Amino acid sequence: MNIVVLVKQVPDSGADRNLRSDDNTVDRGSANNVINEMDEYAIEEALKIKEAHGGEVTILTMGPDRATESIRKALSMGPDKAVHVVDDALHGSCAVATSKVLAAALGQLNADLVICGAESTDGRVQVMPHMIAERLGVAALTGARKLTVDGADLTVERQTEEGYEVVTASTPAVVSVWDTINEPRYPSFKGIMAAKKKPVQTLSLGDLGVAPAEVGFDGATSAVVEHSKRPPRSGGEKITDEGEGGVKLVEFLATEKFV
């Protein structure tokens, strides 16, 4: 099975993150840039399918030059190769334009199965799998906490508010996964060394047949008008329980009219 995993480089969600003051885009320069955590689960799932059914796993990333670090990191887990869509004109692209670019790249890769994280930790927009599926005219099985592959037949358990849904489709398809689906492997030393030699193909907008005017700020379908830092919360009263902590807690809740 030919599997493509979408990997996004994002600013580390464990550190301070900012938007740039000049163009309102994510400030990647000052951030510690890492693989979107949820994508590691997508990579793991792809590797498990390859191990059970054979095939090839390709990483697909759209991002600036520095995304190469995340691509090598992804490859060190075990995928075979990577495709990096990189073009200066992509800076400032909205989700709609991004899906156009990724769909164009996927069109060249002939994937049976596209796997991605359910959301990225920076935008948390959660729209990419359905946008891509819509463009490619393939099935989207999203929010999976379990994926079963039987030949061309796919079955997922989709996490919902009330429980889960069992959803089926045939390949080709896009599957997005939550972090409950597996436990991603750590790259081995051998994997890290091997990743350095794995092929990474770069594609420009020209290679994909997408015009620069369709992406970036020019092609954006939405815009950030302004942004500001929310004043940080400050802690209020803190007491140490000396036998009356529970009662005091309820007294506070009562003054706030919660009890």
Partner 1 sequence: MSEVLVVVEATKEFGVKKVTLEMLTLARELGTPSAVVLGGAGAAEALSAKLGEYGAEKIYAAEGEEIDGYLVAPKATVVAELVKRVQPAAVLLASSQEGKEIAARLAVKLDNGILTDVVGLAADGTATQVAFAGSTIVKSKVTKGLPLVTVRPNSLNPAPAAATPAVEQLTVSVTDADKLAKVVERVAEQKGSRPELTEASVVVSGGRGVGNADNFKLVEEMADLLGGAVGASRAAVDSGYYPHQFQVGQTGKTVSPQLYVALGISGAIQHRAGMQTSKTIVAVNKDAEAPIFELADYGVVGDLFKVVPQAAEEIRKRK
* Site for partner 1, residues 23 to 62, rule: CB under 8 A: 37-38
User: Is residue 114 part of the contact set for partner 1 (CB under 8 A)?
Assistant: no
Site string for partner 1, 177-216 (x = CB under 8 A): -xxx------------------------------------
Which residue has 């954006």 as its token pair? 220
CA distance 79 to 56: 7
Q: How far is the CB of 200 from partner 1 (least distance, A)?
A: 28
The letter for the amino acid at 211 is A
Q: Which residues of 37-49 are buried (b: 16+ CB within 10 A; e: fewer)?
A: bbbbbbbbbbbeb
- Rg of the Cα trace of the chain? 21
CA distance 230 to 45: 37
Cβ proximity to partner 1: between 190 and 257 the closer is 257
User: Is residue 225 part of the contact set for partner 1 (CB under 8 A)?
Assistant: yes
Sign of CA pseudo-dihedral 183, 189, 194, 199: positive
Q: Are residues 202 and 88 in contact, defined by beta-carbon separation less than 8 angstroms?
A: no
User: Is residue 239 part of the contact set for partner 1 (CB under 8 A)?
Assistant: yes
Q: How far is the CB of 247 from partner 1 (least distance, A)?
A: 5
- Options 52, 166, 193, 211; binder of partner 1; rule CB under 8 A: 166
* Size of residue set near partner 1 by CB under 8 A: 85
Nearest to 209, CA basis, from 97, 135, 105, 133: 105
User: Is residue 146 part of the contact set for partner 1 (CB under 8 A)?
Assistant: no
Nearest to 93, CA basis, from 239, 198, 208: 208
User: Is residue 153 part of the contact set for partner 1 (CB under 8 A)?
Assistant: no
User: Is residue 125 part of the contact set for partner 1 (CB under 8 A)?
Assistant: yes
Cβ proximity to partner 1: between 193 and 249 the closer is 249
Cβ proximity to partner 1: between 5 and 136 the closer is 136
